[in-house]
């Protein structure tokens, strides 16, 4: 009779060394995955910021171009009762913190058929490196008439304007000063240059509708 033999069998599972190796591999993969995810999120944030900035600039150029193309030969009376030309821009329009341009534009939407003009008085003002568009509900203003003000573009270095008269002479303000004959109410064309620290200079030239 053979003596009873006992066989030692390895219990199923992982050894401590195998667990440590698996945990090390998992930690390495987690670090790599987090780094990739963080890079994707950072890239997405930068792309979103650039797209928002591009949209801001495009909106600014669109408003400026639309208002200039629809400039109308209609002067107004301001809140003090003084007459103002259809389009006015002073000689300091290239500097910041001040009114840059004011004009009357046509094509003011009136979907509800309100008893008002289809013309609108608008202006552009720069304050603290931000360009604002102002629009008044009426053409001839009262002392208590307040404009609607919307911020268009931030971080502006300069906004320069040039006006072309009918002798094909450029002026940095309108109405021009020191001219022999009285200039027309509106220039032949207007050029604006928007200078930005991140996008450089953006220049557009528009011929006014009233002069076509």
Q: Are 104 and 119 in contact (CB under 8 A)?
A: yes
Is the pLDDT higher at 27 or at 182? 27
Does 1 map to a domain?
no
Is the pLDDT higher at 197 or at 94? 197
Does 127 map to a domain?
yes
Does 132 map to a domain?
yes
**Residue 152 confidence class, pLDDT cut points 50, 70, 90:** very high
As for how many domains the chain has, the answer is 1
Does 205 map to a domain?
no
Sign, Cα dihedral of 116, 111, 78, 190: negative
Does 91 map to a domain?
yes
Q: What is the pLDDT of residues 49-97, one digit of tens each?
A: 889 999 999 999 999 999 999 999 999 998 888 999 999 997 555 455 6
Q: CA 125, CA 99: separation in Å to the nearest integer?
A: 4
Is the pLDDT higher at 71 or at 10? 71
Domain hosting 118: range is 66-155
Task: Tell whether the model's pLDDT for residue 12 goes beyond 90.
Answer: no
Q: CA 126, CA 129: separation in Å to the nearest integer?
A: 6
Candidates 208, 190, 186, 207; CA nearest to 75 is 186
Q: CA 55, CA 154: separation in Å to the nearest integer?
A: 12
Say which CATH number the domain at 121 has: 3.10.610.10
Task: Tell whether the model's pLDDT for residue 9 goes beyond 80.
Answer: no
Q: What is the pLDDT of residue 192?
A: 93
E strands, 6-115, are 76-77, 83-84, 87-88, 98-105
Query: How many residues can be counted in the chain?
Result: 212
Does 8 map to a domain?
no
CA angle 61/91/103 to nearest 5° reads: 50
Q: Are 147 and 123 in contact (CB under 8 A)?
A: yes
pTM, entire model: 0.75
Task: For the beta carbon of residue 22, count every other beta carbon within 10 angstroms.
Answer: 11
Does 177 map to a domain?
no
Highest mean pLDDT pick, 95-104, 105-114, 134-143? 134-143
Does 126 map to a domain?
yes
């Amino acid at each position: 009779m053979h003596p009873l033999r006992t066989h030692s069998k390895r219990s199923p599972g992982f050894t401590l060394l195998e667990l440590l190796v698996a945990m090390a591999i998992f930690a390495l993969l987690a670090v790599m995955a987090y780094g990739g995810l963080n890079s994707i999120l950072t890239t997405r944030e930068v792309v979103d910021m650039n797209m928002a900035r591009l949209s801001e600039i495009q909106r600014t150029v669109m408003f400026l171009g639309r208002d200039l193309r629809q400039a109308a030969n209609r002067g107004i009376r301001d809140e003090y009762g003084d007459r103002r030309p259809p389009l006015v821009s002073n000689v300091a329009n290239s500097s910041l913190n001040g009114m840059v341009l004011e004009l009357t534009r046509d094509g003011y939407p009136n979907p509800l058929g309100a008893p008002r003009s289809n013309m609108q008085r608008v202006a552009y003002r720069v304050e603290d490196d931000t360009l604002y568009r102002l629009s008044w509900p009426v053409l001839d203003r009262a002392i208590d008439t307040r404009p609607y003000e919307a911020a268009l573009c931030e971080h502006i270095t300069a906004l320069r304007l040039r006006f072309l008269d009918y002798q094909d002479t450029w002026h940095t303000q309108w109405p021009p000063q020191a001219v022999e004959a009285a200039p027309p109410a509106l220039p032949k064309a207007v050029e604006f240059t928007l200078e930005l620290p991140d996008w450089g200079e953006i220049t557009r030239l528009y011929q006014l509708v009233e002069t076509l």
